[in-house]
Structures are given as structure tokens and as C-alpha cells.
Chain A
């Protein structure tokens, strides 16, 4: 997200009207879609900022494995220097499914996607966010380990804060939703919550270590949903599987044609897919809205100075609102993901559900 840069740039431009014309002449065609997708998509380098005419870019390593030519490891600076292509790898077509990625040109002219393990902008952002999460919790955990036997130790502000957020998640989400086996799943759910929350918040910071919408990326949410899927199904109780294969419904619903088991089976996959799409769509939506509001400024200026000025005012106003909203959404989405994961895990921990009911009736 470089809208802050745009806003600052714009303020500078407003002070010198002559420059505006120059800028307008340079960028006559304003491709809104391209600007937005450039921000939402991954890239091989991290464009930090622009000072004057000089771009400040972090060039990240490109790691590719081709079945024909083996491993290729090079800095993305090479791509930049060679107009996007290097060592037989070319950027994919903008319209294709792999837009923005490198493709290998084969001998017969076809483009094949290599195995791409490049440390991209999003990968780096993930590492930074992960490090931040560790930095938040490990020192607090060390304090606890140090004071393990001292029952009257009083934690300081930082440790108290960590304790507060950890107990908040554990007491209000994990314990009530997972049930009595919560201890086994609590570390995963806590990690998921704080990882997502940190990523969401970092994506709202418009400059270097932040500003990358990792949770607005399908790969990330797919991974997180897959973790929940594993937690639900691998650690599911026998009763849970019994209810899928042989649910408690009239027999004709399951014997000749297994309608209910089929629906239950579909349900296994729809739950994590819902998790994946929800987080992705919410974060993507918020970022898109902010980007569109920012781009409005440029659209306004391409129509005229007066419109541009008023558009700027409105845009900044709306962006402040959107940012505040997104901070809320950042928390809510992390909360919802953890909550639903807990509920799904908890529902897979059912035990002797029917027996209890019978006892109740008696």
C-alpha cells in the first residue's frame, strides 16, 4: 500500500500547479486495475518508496527449479536490469492465471511454470510478521519460565499485556468453543489468532515492514484453513466420524443412496473453505476499498484540478474512516477465524453424545 506516498506526493503537487500538468502529461492513461492489482499481488522485489526520481527497492532472491534446467537462484535485480526476464525466465502474460510470475520458455516456445520458491515480497512479509509474533511472546514466556516456582511474582506491564491478550483469546474463544480437550488445541489456535492479527495489522501500516496484505492472499488463507482442517479431522473423535458416515437420521436417508453421509462429507470441506474465503475476501475487500479511494484522487486530477482537489479531500476523509474500520476488521477477522476454527475443532471432539441425552431423558 503506497497510498500515503501518493497522498504526500499529491500534496506536493498541489503546491506547484505546473508540476501537475507535467504529471498529467506523463500518465495520460491511468490504469486503475493495474494499480490496484499491483498492490494486491505478490512480487519478486519490494518497492519501499521513491525519493525524488530514485526508487528504493529491496531486491529479493528468486529461487526457481525447472525440470529441464535445474535450480536457478538469482537476485531480482537481474530481472529489473533485464526488463523482467533472466536466464530463460519471462514474466507471465498479464491475462494468464500466473500474472506477475516468472515462466520458463521451453525449446518449443511454450511457457511452463517452474517450481517457484522465491522469497517474494509476501514471503518476506510473512517472515517479518512471524518474527514479530515471536518477539511479542517469547520474552514474556521467558519471564514466566524464570518465575515458574515463584507464585507471588508480579508481572510487569509488558508481561501483563501479553497475559491479557493470551487469556482473552483462550478464555473467550478456545475454552468455551473447543470444550474439555482445549489444552491440546490451544497453542495452534492462539498462534493462528496472533499470526493473523499481526498480519492484518501489519498490512495496514503503509510503509516498509508492513503494507503487504498477506492475509488478503489465497495461499496464506488456504494454508491456515488447511491447518484447521487437519486439526479438525486428524484429531476428530470416533463419534465425529460416526456422525459423518452414519448420521443420526432416518435410515432411508442413508441406506440405498447415502444422501446424508454425502452431505456430511461435503461439509468436511466446506467448513475450512468457508474459513479460507472469509478471511481472504474480508481483507482483500478492505484493502481494495482503500486503494480505490486513493486512486480516486488520480482519477479526479485526470479530470481537472478542481475535481482533483475536492476528490483529494473526500478521499483522505474516507481513507481515514476506512483505516479505522480496517483496524476493527483486522481484529474481527482474526477473532472470527479462531472462533470458527475452535467451533469446528470442538464439534469434532463430541463424545457419547447420544448416551448423555438418554440419561437426561430418564
Chain B
């Protein structure tokens, strides 16, 4: 029967042993363990969340970079096309301009040549006239070396002038 009756002495020792164990563990044991475990749990959760966010961000960045590269490629193509166009245009322009200038130069050269030609013709005529005058003078001098020849000449000239004035008067 004594098995069923609680014993005060044993209760006392139980109080001491359980009490000490409880006190020490409640003060220095379990709270720090559970707190640390909870803290670590929170940390792990945070880290996982961060990793998830980073992953999403990375995916976004990747997408962005792809878009940027695509955009750049497009831009490059556009710029190249434009450059080719521009080049063609410039070339065409330059050709046109060059042909215009050369035409103009050609024209001025032609005009110059014409002018010079005319001037040359003129001076040649003058020369020829002066020369022919000289020659004529010389011939005339030779022809009019005698007195009779000079009188004939004067006569003839006078005739001529008088016919000329008559003609003028009649006219």
C-alpha cells in the first residue's frame, strides 16, 4: 500500500531536483535555444525571400539587357542604313555639283577662248590694216613719185568725191 502514498521526503527531494533543473533550464537553457532557433528560422526565411527577390530581379535585368541589345541591334541597322543612304546622297550631290562646276568652267573657258579669239582676230585685223596701210603707203609713194602721177591721182580723187557728193545730193 505504501506504493500509493506520497512520501514527504521524496517530495522534498523532487522539489529540489526538479526545481533546480527547472530554474536553470528556464533561465539559461530553453529560452535562449528556442529564441535562437526562431531567430535563425526568421533569418532563413528572410534569406529565402531575398534570394527569391534577387532571382526575380535578375530575370528582369536579363530581360532588360536582352531588350537593350535588341534595341541596339535595331538602332545599329537603322544607323547603317541611314549612313548608306547618306553616302549615296552625298555622292550623288557631289557628282552633280562637280559636273555643274566643270560645265561652268568649261563654259567660261569657252567664252574666254571666244573672246580671246575675237581679240586676236581684232588685233590681227588691226595689224593687217596697219600693214596694208603701210604697204599701200609704200606702194602709193612709189606710184606717186612723179609729179604727173600725183596730179592724176588728185584729179581722179576729186572726181570721185564730186560724184560721191552728187550721189549724196541726189539721194
Q: A-side interface residues toward B, CB under 8 Å?
A: 37, 40-42, 63, 92, 96-101, 115-120, 122-123, 126-127, 129-130, 133-134, 137-138, 140-141, 144-145, 147-148, 151-152, 162-163, 166-167, 170, 186-188, 190-191, 195, 217-220, 222-224, 227, 284
* Residue of chain A at shortest CB distance from B7: A219
A-B pairs, 4 with minimum CB distance? A123-B13, A187-B26, A130-B17, A219-B10
A123-B13, A151-B39, A218-B6 as given contacts; A134 in contact with B32, CB under 8 Å: no
For A144, give its contact among B21, B26, B33 (CB under 8 Å): B33
B30 A41 Cβ-Cβ under 8 A: no
For B15, give its contact among A120, A190, A223 (CB under 8 Å): A223
B22 A191 Cβ-Cβ under 8 A: yes
For A141, give its contact among B11, B12, B21, B33 (CB under 8 Å): B33
For A186, give its contact among B5, B10, B28, B30 (CB under 8 Å): B30
Chain A residues with Cβ under 8 A from B18's Cβ? 126, 130, 191, 195, 223-224, 227
B21 A118 Cβ-Cβ under 8 A: no
- Taking CB atoms and an 8 Å cut-off, the chain B residues in 1-50 that contact chain A are 1-18, 20-22, 24-26, 28-34, 36-37, 39-40, 43
For B25, give its contact among A118, A147, A187 (CB under 8 Å): A187
B11 A223 Cβ-Cβ under 8 A: yes
A218 B3 Cβ-Cβ under 8 A: yes
A130-B21, A133-B25, A218-B6 as given contacts; A167 in contact with B37, CB under 8 Å: yes
B30 A166 Cβ-Cβ under 8 A: yes
Instruction: Give how many B residues have a beta carbon under 8 Å from the other chain's beta carbons.
Output: 36
B2 A122 Cβ-Cβ under 8 A: no
A141 B13 Cβ-Cβ under 8 A: no
A217 B24 Cβ-Cβ under 8 A: no
| Interface residues of A, dominant DSSP | helix
7 more A-B residue pairs beyond the given contacts A120-B10, A145-B28, A152-B43, with a C-beta to C-beta distance below 8 A: A42-B7, A123-B13, A127-B13, A138-B29, A186-B30, A191-B18, A191-B22
Q: In whole Å, how far is A234's beta carbon from the nearest beta carbon of chain B? A: 15
Chain B residues with Cβ under 8 A from A191's Cβ? 18, 21-22, 25-26, 30
Q: In whole Å, how far is B48's beta carbon from the nearest beta carbon of chain A? A: 14
Q: In whole Å, how far is B35's beta carbon from the nearest beta carbon of chain A? A: 8
| Interface residues of B, dominant DSSP | helix
B25 A162 Cβ-Cβ under 8 A: no
B29 A41 Cβ-Cβ under 8 A: no
B2 A101 Cβ-Cβ under 8 A: yes
* Residue of chain A at shortest CB distance from B21: A130
A-B contact pairs, 24 of them (CB 8 A): A63-B9, A97-B1, A97-B2, A117-B8, A117-B12, A119-B13, A120-B13, A123-B17, A126-B10, A126-B17, A134-B21, A134-B29, A137-B30, A145-B28, A147-B36, A148-B36, A162-B33, A166-B33, A190-B25, A191-B21, A191-B25, A218-B6, A219-B6, A223-B15
A37 B3 Cβ-Cβ under 8 A: yes
A222 to B5, CA, bound (A): 10
A191 to B22, CA, bound (A): 6
Q: In whole Å, how far is B20's beta carbon from the nearest beta carbon of chain A? A: 6
A98 B33 Cβ-Cβ under 8 A: no
A59 to B22, CA, bound (A): 28
Chain A residues with Cβ under 8 A from B16's Cβ? 127
A222 B11 Cβ-Cβ under 8 A: yes
A220 B14 Cβ-Cβ under 8 A: yes
A347 to B101, CA, bound (A): 109
Q: In whole Å, how far is A59's beta carbon from the nearest beta carbon of chain B? A: 17
A130 B33 Cβ-Cβ under 8 A: no
